[in-house]
Chain A
Amino acid sequence: MISFTVNGKPVTVEDPPSTPLLWVIRDSLNLTGTKYGCGMALCGACTVHIDGQAVRSCVAPVSRAEGKKVTTIEGISPDLTHPLQQAWIEIDVPQCGYCQSGQIMSAAVLLAENSTPSDEDIDEAMSGNICRCGTYPRIRRAIHRAAEISKQRGAK
């Protein structure tokens, strides 16, 4: 039995400790916003936060979450008000949308650590996330825009 919190809610799961966190989140906890894309930490679709760090949940055993705070895409805001969500909607970033949970979760850690990222910072932080639809130019714009939104909110 492994206990941790997901989006602020305590959970206890019976999956074997080596089970990837991704499949515990999806198959046992029924939070389906976190996606499977490669199973080898190569595409970033499964990105979640463990204690604020971006983690590829497809290769992270659930045991790694023991006693920690896990945040998934469902937990970044209750009402689409996270600056990244606002920017994503404003710029209409997603196409098929499948990779976007992972993109937003990676971008959230970038912005938490760097409130005004440069293009190079974005390249570095976001190159682990693949988008087959090719939304990269819009993701870049939206991260800059989210940084602006955060700044404006902070100034209020």
Chain B
Amino acid sequence: MSVATEMKRREFLKAGAALGGGLLISLYVPEFVPAARAADSAAKPVALNAFVRIGTDESVTVISNHSEMGQGIYTSLPMLLNEELEADWARVRVESSPVDAVYNHTVFGLMMTGGSTTTNSEYDRFRKMGAMARIMLIAAAAQSWNVDSQTCRAEKGFVIHTATGRRASYGSLAEAASRIAPPKDIPLKDPKDFTLVGKPVHRLDTPSKTNGTAQFGLDVYIPGMLTAVVARAPVFGGKVVSFNADQAKAIPGVVNVVQVPSGVAVIAKGFWPAKLGREKLEITWDDGPGAALSTVEMRANFSTLSKTPGLVARKVGDPAAALAGAAKTITAEYEVPYLAHCMMEPLNTVVDLHEDRCEIWTGTQFQTGDRAAAAKVAGLKPEQVTLHTTLLGGGFGRRANPSCDFVTEATEVAKAAKVPVKVVWTREDDIRGGWYRPMWYDHFAAGLDASGNPVAWTHTIVGQSIMAGTMFESYGIKNGIDSASVEGAADILYGIPNLQVDLHTPKNEVPVQWWRSVGHSHTGFSVEAFLDEVAHAGGKDPYELRRTLLAGQPRMLAVLDLAAQKANWGSALPAGRARGIATHFSFDSYVAQVAEISVEKDGTVRVHRVVAAVDCGRTVNPDTVKAQLEGGIIFGLTAALKTEITLDKGRVQQRNFNDYPMVRMFESPTIEVFIVPSTEHPTGVGEPGVPPVAPAVANAIFAATGKRVRRLPIKPEDLRSA
């Protein structure tokens, strides 16, 4: 939908009603102003609740309160709703919701998309919304026919009176249905009767993503809008002391240069003059303490810390005694670097600020926070700020910024410049802009008994906290332990009788944030690679040892067996090739992967094939689950093989895809994804594919070369054979 034709929404009147399942379902009496749409008034859509509108043209619009960033939710949520609504699927379209409490995440209590939680948290609500609307449509038809509702049924967009075969379309009934009191009791289908959920369904957004019409934030143009780029401090925490914009203003097309808290904004007629203008700015910065930061030094400090006791995140049995009494002990240190999210669409935000209202267009994962932040900057109430969620050209966590950095900054620019403005980040701004996946160090010790089984496991983690100092602190930090730092470590599924996980949380100026799979992105690697070391130290096959340790975990055992079987674990491979295996439990889903690799003479790692098995409960759109696993594997491979953010004298040393390279087509393996059928409640799929791939590759490298990889990204120079 284009910006110009998008309906203006008036403030909804709300009447809350608590329904079954503990979900609060508010019922709107919505008023849509048919702005610029007079011609369409015949098709005026009617809202049956906050999540679905039906037009007299038979269109069914599902309102998504979750952001589409590639994960397929703009199809999965409508599927859930329509499973119960029984409209004609061909008529179903999707639209992003405004910001309102009714659209809050059922668990987080804010409007946001993240943590691989959308399907899991909306599985009941969207079906109930569809069922509610269907019941109201049937009631409206029954009323007009003067028959009992119980004698009518819904089918493909029609209500049918079974005895007489009389039919009325949803579009013709919507108006009357909207005046029917919403039902109190909303029974849902038995899943065995699902006709849509669980079947592979084509994504609703694919056509628009193949002809250029899909609208991302960067594609929003509003009347009178100028484009801004911001010169931000070259060192985290730095401030502008003074600046000279004379040369910048001399660039044709540059309209204004303004100072904002995050730096200096050049505002121009289009991106290109803004960027040229920024290059001509002369700025004196006060770097602050961040100027001393060096990742080389931090690595040394983290390494030292990792060998000292930290806060205990989990303790089982007596690991110290078990280690002391073990037949064999091994220790190892693992490390991963800072990583940038690098969504293909760099950050951007359009702000149209007026004295008494503000309108914002952006691809965000965090609507409630961003709207509140913009309101604060603008001196308005959150209700005076209208935030339009566009499609997101990738998110991976970056667009759910706890400090609302990009929307705050864009509002500051609009406020200072007093014009409608689109703030655009360049790729360099993105890579150098912070909010990285933290750098992490992991120190392990394991004790093996005489038969080679692990009887003790200690794991000390060192890394910055993501949630400290944010609005998520009280939710995510207990007794000084940020759950995101120890996830995937403190909750490992392997049955090891004596176990301890410690945490150190150093602080520095580098802003850190959730990055697809968050803490699991390091614990998946370190735990699974160290477990491989344990297997070899004990003379066990890595697959068989995992089977033994997962005896009490039937769901993980099943995915492990499935992945191993599909990858022909143990069978012969062509010379030079080897397999590695890993499992990881994250976002309540179970994943196992087998990677098949070879290492070239110059140390280059080629990943030929990855076989993945997943148990994510009941699947809504199985093809989307496969796509998310495929994508997660490629995302994880880039982290395994390619990328690191390093700092020297406080400066980020990478700038674009030349020195922060992504896995490309020629490096992309064959990927096979297998889903374990399940009737359990759906769990996450956006992130769980990421963690197991790096350890599967690292373990395969050991199998191929005898060399242990304990640091990401994997460096060819460490694996060179000649």
Contacts and interface: CB of A to CB of B under 8 A. Distances in A.
A134 B663 CA distance: 8
Interface in A121-154: 122-124, 126-140
Interface in B612-641: 623, 627-628, 630-635
Interface in B189-217: 202-203, 205-216
Which of A20, A127, A133 has most chain B Cβ within 10 Å?
A133
B650 interface: no
B362 to A, nearest CB: 14
Contacts of A135: 627, 630-631
Interface string B550-586: 0000000000000000000000000000000000000
Nearest to B657: A42
Interface stretch (B133-141, B234-242, B664-672): B664-672
Contacts of B269: 27
B662 interface: yes
29 contacts: A19-B272, A27-B227, A27-B271, A27-B272, A32-B221, A33-B213, A39-B426, A39-B427, A40-B657, A45-B344, A74-B213, A84-B210, A88-B206, A92-B627, A94-B210, A95-B72, A95-B627, A96-B345, A98-B216, A98-B344, A99-B344, A100-B209, A100-B210, A127-B666, A130-B344, A133-B344, A134-B634, A136-B634, A140-B668
Given A33-B213, A88-B206, 8 more contacts: A30-B221, A36-B424, A43-B657, A94-B205, A97-B209, A98-B216, A99-B393, A136-B663
The 8 lowest CB-CB distance pairs between A and B, nearest first, are A33-B212, A134-B634, A98-B393, A97-B209, A95-B70, A96-B70, A136-B668, A134-B631
A97 B306 CA distance: 41
A137 B670 contact: yes
Contacts, number: 185
B233 interface: no
A137 B212 CA distance: 21
A63 to B, nearest CB: 14
A140 B665 CA distance: 8
Nearest to A142: B210
Contact of A96 (B208, B227, B275, B393): B393
Contacts of A127: 664-666
A129 B212 contact: no
B457 to A, nearest CB: 32
B343 interface: yes
B212 A73 contact: yes
Contacts of A38: 427, 656-657
A79 B427 CA distance: 32
B265 interface: no
B394 A137 contact: no
A49 B668 CA distance: 26
A23 interface: yes
Contacts of A93: 206, 210
Given A97-B393, A136-B665, A34 B212 contact: yes
